[in-house]
Amino acid sequence: MILHVDMDAFYASVEERDQPQLVGHPVIVGGTPEGRGVVAAANYVARTFGVHSAMPAVQAKRLCPHAIFLRPRMEHYAEVSAKIRSVFERYTPLVEPLSLDEAFLDVTGSESLHGPALKIAQDIKHEIRDSLSLVASVGVAPNKFLAKIASDLEKPDGLVVVDPVQIQAFLDPLPVKRLWGVGKVTGKVFEQLGIQTIGQLRQLSVERLQQHFGNSGLHFWELAHGIDKRAVTPEQEAKSISHEKTFTSDIEDPSLLRAWLLELTEQVTCRLRRHDLKAKTVNLKVRYDDFHTVTRSHTLSAPTNVTEEIWKAASMLFDRMPSRQLRLRLLGVGVSNLVQRAKAQLVLFVDAERERQSRLDEVADDIKAKFGSVSLQRASGILHHIDPKSGTDGPNRDQYGE
């Protein structure tokens, strides 16, 4: 059996835990409403006003004028995430992290030692609550797809089990938009076909679905039948580092997309420096609202972990994406061709500007880890000053979302 563990409003919940006076108030972690920042996370009080992650902060402010806006503390969230993962690993070595706040666990081989999958899920929830004062929602199911859906059905503090012999009874009543890959465009096609639920979709043949959705037709047919053959894959020695964001609503504002591009770049470079790594190749991934996915990469002249250098490469790749209506459901930044910083080839003549940027990054990491993101802002981090025409960036730091 597979578990999908998803921390509830993770960034906001950590802030509420650390600052109890925030409890009961709408809390938004992310950018400031004065600029073009984005919502990284919103607690459940703020969500009652319609606020959600990836929303422009200025829109969140209009929906919830009395919300408390907090700058993200990514280093701190990463430390908390590591403690959560240590809880997972006490029950199974088969842990596949998806982000700081969610992971898949294969507990099939652990049931003889720790009891049935349901008990393991309950124990994990209780241990996270008792040791870290945080709340997790868990889905228990025969595969990843079903576990992921189950974990989201009864948030917050949910625990949903999908019986292997009741898969269709579980799936059929759910709206078709629950299927991975069903966005606004595909959703409209299903609407035109009179398909509203997964059960209705399941009545269509593979051929009919392929006629309307091409290669994605088989994908939708398999998911509607509860088929997902992917295994839980634990992290091995890092060959790449990446962060990606699936937006709650498709985004077409280029400046807002650039804001997220910078956010994701900062997450990647922060992880590089934390693990004392440098990267030579920068990768960009975009998924359009019709589920068409495009990836691009650029190899640098030398390995780096300098935010400014990787940001410029990512921005260049973004500018070179196919010319079509820019309406994205997913954006991702990654790096590969990793080397330990100590093993990176030394150069005879030191680039003074590069050294200065590198030192600034390291000092900034230390300060923000100790005092939080609000304590220091990079000149290249103010997202609401990003120039969508030139791709240059000016000063703020709004955050990678959940």
pLDDT tens string 334-364: 999 998 865 554 444 445 555 555 565 565 5
Distances (CA, A) of 300 to 147, 181, 312, 323, 397: 39, 33, 11, 24, 25
In this prediction, the residues of the chain whose per-residue pLDDT falls under 70 are: 35-36, 235-238, 323-325, 341-402
CA 175 – CA 219 distance, rounded (Å): 16
| Tally of domains within the chain | 3
Domain membership of residue 166 (yes or no) is no
Helix (H, G, I), strand (E, B) or coil at 139: strand
Q: Of residues 16, 102, 244, 263, which has the active-site annotation?
A: 102
Are the beta carbons of 328 and 286 closer than 8 angstroms? yes
Are the beta carbons of 383 and 37 closer than 8 angstroms? yes
Domain membership of residue 394 (yes or no) is no
**Other beta carbons less than 10 A from residue 285's beta carbon:** 18
Q: Supply φ then ψ for residue 13, to 5 degrees.
A: -65, -35
Structure tokens at 208: 């009919």
- The predicted structure's pLDDT at residue 93: 93
At which of 70, 91, 110 does a domain end? Answer: 70
Domain range for residue 192? 174-224
The reply to whether 201 and 297 lie within a common domain is no
What pLDDT, in 10s, does the model give residues 299-341? Answer: 999 999 999 999 999 999 999 887 666 788 889 999 999 988 6
Helix (H) or strand (E) holding 354: helix 352-371
Domain membership of residue 260 (yes or no) is yes
- The predicted structure's pLDDT at residue 64: 96
- The predicted structure's pLDDT at residue 215: 81
CA 148 – CA 119 distance, rounded (Å): 18
CATH of the domain at 52: 3.40.1170.60
Structure tokens at 203: 């009545």
The reply to whether 209 and 294 lie within a common domain is no
User: Helix crossing, 254-274 with 74-89: angle to 10°?
Assistant: 60
CA 367 – CA 308 distance, rounded (Å): 18
- The predicted structure's pLDDT at residue 159: 98
Domain membership of residue 87 (yes or no) is no
Please confirm, yes or no, whether 102 is among the known catalytic residues.
yes
The reply to whether 194 and 247 lie within a common domain is no
- The predicted structure's pLDDT at residue 401: 32
Domain membership of residue 31 (yes or no) is yes
Residue from 140, 143, 147, 10 nearest 84 by CA: 10
Helix (H, G, I), strand (E, B) or coil at 321: coil
| pTM for this model (two decimals) | 0.69
The alpha carbons of the chain give a radius of gyration, in whole angstroms, of 22
The reply to whether 188 and 302 lie within a common domain is no
Structure tokens at 309: 């250098």
CATH of the domain at 182: 1.10.150.20
Read off the DSSP letter of residue 218.
Answer: H
Domain membership of residue 121 (yes or no) is no
Read off the DSSP letter of residue 73.
Answer: -
Structure tokens at 51: 């606020």
